[in-house]
Amino acid sequence: MREVGAGRTPLPVDLNSGQKPFQISARPMNPNPDYTIDAFHRGAFHLVQPANKGHRAGLDAMLLAGAVPKGFSGRVADLGAGAGAAGFAVAARCPAASVLLVEHAAEMVGCARQSRDLPANTGLAGRIDVLQADVELSGPARKSAGLADRSFDFIIMNPPFNAARDRATPDQLKRAAHVMTEGLFERWIRTASAIGRARAEVAIIARPASLADILAALEGRFGSPRCLPIHPRPDAEAIRIIVRARKGARGALTLAAPLILHEGGGRDFTMRSDAIINGRETLFVE
């Protein structure tokens, strides 16, 4: 067994700890060595992912999925889904929820569809659909692509949030998943607002430096934002934020208690972070 790497910009956490957040195994029976079949939530679901290129899902996706309340029973859109890790995690955590995985890259769409069809995911397959579409489309083009207005109760997104100068890579599939362009949050949150029903919620994972851009994009669309910072250790700066807001709400920004991934100098995940990234607890205290 080997462990999944931690998101598009690796979190400074030790994935060799005794409390493994999730594990993968490159199955010997896998006929295509260019792909792996990876187990998440301690085997609750499995993903087909490119072995050596593109974005490989990790902690970011599991933390984002934890922003959806446990027991949620509505329709969820996972924008920029990649292979579908966050959306699959929501479906595994919330047995009454249905999920649409929205991804632009054809290869990742293929992975998501193969994942849905894995025998190990039979219990989830009926509640997961996959759509190849550009999240940044607007108006009639967006509707024609299959993203109808006012059709989702919760929207989650893990958009590219690395600056172009960060982590330059010749891997075009990875670059598309990692590198943000100017105005990205405005365009993605515009789509979330259009496809969200009345009082739909949105959850976004990003770097702390993007908070101002996220709040500006939420303005007039989603209100009462709650920002939850994620710290690798109690004395370290936050390396991720998750912002959750509700369509049509008007409340001011509030800061939720932070999530600490590790205690002190130890290598194990905290009980709470381990529970969240394995689908046993909700990130936000309701």
Q: Where are the domains of the chain?
A: 2-277
Q: What is the pTM of this model?
A: 0.84
pLDDT in tens, 199-249: 999 999 999 999 999 999 999 999 999 999 999 999 999 999 999 999 999
Dihedral sign computed on CA atoms, order 179, 222, 213, 274: negative
Domain covering 2-277: architecture:
3-Layer(aba) Sandwich (3.40)
- Region 110-132 average pLDDT: 97
Q: How many CB atoms lie within 10 A of CB 26?
A: 13
CA distance 197 to 133: 20
Nearest alpha carbon to residue 232 among 199, 257, 260: 260
- Region 23-42 average pLDDT: 68
Instruction: Report the pLDDT value the prediction gives residue 34, as an integer from 0 to 100.
Output: 81
Average pLDDT, the chain: 86
Q: Is the pLDDT of residue 27 over 90?
A: no
* DSSP label of 80: T
Q: Which residues are bridge partners to 101 per DSSP?
A: 78, 130
CA distance 222 to 250: 8
- Region 276-285 average pLDDT: 95
* DSSP label of 120: G
Instruction: Report the pLDDT value the prediction gives residue 151, as an integer from 0 to 100.
Output: 98
- Cα dihedral 223, 244, 285, 56, rounded to 10, equals 180
Dihedral sign computed on CA atoms, order 141, 146, 148, 151: negative
- Region 135-159 average pLDDT: 97
Q: Which of 48-57, 120-129, 238-247, 268-277 has the lowest mean pLDDT?
A: 48-57
Q: Which of 77-86, 145-154, 262-271 has the lowest mean pLDDT?
A: 262-271
